Each structure stands twice: as structure tokens, then as C-alpha cells.
A = this chain, B = another copy of it.
Amino acid sequence: MTFLELVNKRHSERAYIENAEIDKNIFLKCLEAARLAPSACNSQPWRFIIVDNLEIKNQIAQTTTTAFLPLNHFTKQASAIVVVVNEGSNLSASVGNVVKDKDFSVMDIGIAVEHFCLQAVEEGLGTCILGWFDEKKIKQILEIPKNKRVELLITLGYPKNDKEKTRRKRKDLEQIYSYNKY
């Protein structure tokens, strides 16, 4: 599979074969892809908590759904939910954050999470990245230190049906680039 084929295959999968088991070696390959991701000043500000215990996974799934936002019921079908914690930038990157008024660790985590997901897709899994969840509850459930941020969740599972998924529309290429001038 070329990289473009892999990128084309990836989409936000929201229907999984319920609780189908994922081989532990697949998690390790996804983690390895994430581990090698680049980061500002080589900070590597990420920690991945793989939640594949059925009961705990369902508790985490519950934090993605609220009465007024019942969108994320597919999270309960997922075989695992990966909880991605921001461990904070190292000293050099922190200096950069302040001087340049940016939080590089957030970008770093985006990149590492996508490495994880693309490897999962290569392994035949479906993935969905979620940014909307009850962070406080997740910290309680998984005993994450209060001063850390949970940046993203990744749902993982085998797609319910193999038929071609309708991808969400993207802007046309012409809308997103130019040469030598804005």
C-alpha cells in the first residue's frame, strides 16, 4: 500500500464489530509508529493508555456521551479506547512555547496520534480520534495525575462492514495552497 493509498483508506470509523479482540502485537506496532513520531526539540510529550478491559473501556466510552450530545454511542462498540495524555514539553520546547506563544506539545501529540492511527489502519483496524469527552472523569477512572491534560481519545476496532465508506468532503486542492505568496 502506498502512503496515499493508506491515507485514502483512513476515515473516522464509527461502526465496529462489537468488542472483537485486538491482538496485543497490533497495539505494539501502533505504539512503535507513534514512538518514532517527530516532536519539537524531541520532547516526545505523549503517553498512551490502552484501555481494552471491557468494563473500564465502557466507562471511558460513557465519558464521550452526554444527554445533550448523544453522538458517540459507537465508542461502546469499540474494542479498545486509547487515552492520550500530554506529559508536557521538555525544557527547550517549553522555552519555545513561551517565546513563540505556541504550545508545541499539542501539535506533537496530534502527529503521534496520527502515526498510531495510520498503523492501525494498515493492520485492518478502523479508528476515530475524539476530542470531546469528560476529561475530569477520565482522569479519575484511570488515575491520571490532576496536572496532566488528556488531549485525545482514539477508538479502535474492526469495521462493521467492509463496503466503501463515504468519506467526509474535503476542500478542493486549489483552496488549500498557493505558490510564493498567500
Contact = CB atoms under 8 A, between A and B. Distances in A.
A23 to B, nearest CB: 14
Interface in A144-179: 144-145, 151-152, 168-171, 173, 176-179
A33 B35 CA distance: 21
A2 interface: yes
Nearest to A28: B173
Copy count, this protein chain: 2
B2 A122 contact: yes
A144 B108 contact: no
Contact of A47 (B11, B34, B135, B176): B176
Contacts of A119: 3-4, 7
Interface of A: 1-4, 6-8, 10-12, 27-29, 31-38, 40, 42, 44, 46-53, 56, 85, 96, 100, 102-104, 106-111, 113-115, 118-119, 122, 129, 131-132, 135, 142-145, 151-152, 168-171, 173, 176-182
